[in-house]
Amino acid sequence: HLVVAHRGSNGEFPEETAAAYMRAIEEGADFIETNILSSKDGHLVCFHDLILDLTTDIADHKEFADRKRTYKFEYANVTVTGFFIVDFTLKELSHYGNNNTKVISRVPSKFSIITFEEYISVALDAPRVVGIYPEIKDPISTNKHVEWPNGNKFEDKFVQMLQNGLYSSSVLLSNMTDLPKILLIGDMSIPTQHTLQYLFFVLHS
């Protein structure tokens, strides 16, 4: 059997941080799973939610109070309000730690949001072969907010990063890489248990 560390060892460290992934590898994980979003300036980062509100200290940064937005995701008929990852540059995102309230009482230190490159490096630097299990989140909306160079899209950037890391909608990606793909589906009207994120964010990944 294979052990997939979903968002890393997130019962001990804040999810999708370098510490969570390194501990998962220490604990024997065969694959480390992550979710990929984009910053405003086109850097891919590892983060589960489209918004920063639930697992970071964004509420403490009054200088960004005007970044709160409400977006309607027409393909799912859902409206979401919050501080969206895609409205912050990578430099701005580096200020925030993943302060997951379920973990912070046990691990009070600050943990940074990591880039896709850093995530890949954690796997490549492991003392044994460790696979990666990345999931792109909501490319439809992301491509509306990020101006990618040379006519590229979120999916192109994702595949480029995989190729740079020496890792050689699922239908689209199948034409871009020979890597195995997985399409996640679910009832779009039911929010996830922990973060109340609707499954349509996953369906289009």
Q: What's the mean per-residue pLDDT of the chain?
A: 80
pLDDT at position 103, please?
Answer: 52
pLDDT at position 71, please?
Answer: 94
Which residues make Cβ contacts (< 8 Å) with residue 152, sequence separation at least 6? Answer: 160
pLDDT at position 188, please?
Answer: 44
Which CATH code, of 3.20.20.190, 3.30.565.10, 3.40.640.10, 3.50.50.60, is assigned to 4-203? 3.20.20.190
Tokens of 98: 């993943």
Q: Where are the domains of the chain?
A: 4-203
Instruction: Kindly report, residue by residue over 36-86, the tens digit of the pLDDT.
Output: 999 999 999 999 999 998 888 888 888 899 999 999 987 778 899 999 999
- Number of CB atoms found within 10 A of residue 77's CB: 10
Active-site positions read 6, 48
Distance in angstroms between the alpha carbons of the first and the last residue of the chain: 25
Each of the 205 residues of the chain gets a pLDDT tens digit; together they read 889 999 999 888 889 999 999 999 999 999 999 999 999 999 999 999 999 988 888 888 888 999 999 999 877 788 999 999 999 999 998 877 776 655 533 344 578 899 999 999 999 999 999 999 999 988 988 999 999 988 899 999 998 888 876 565 443 445 555 655 554 444 444 444 334 444 333 333 3
**What CA–CA distance (Å, rounded) separates 177 from 1?**
25
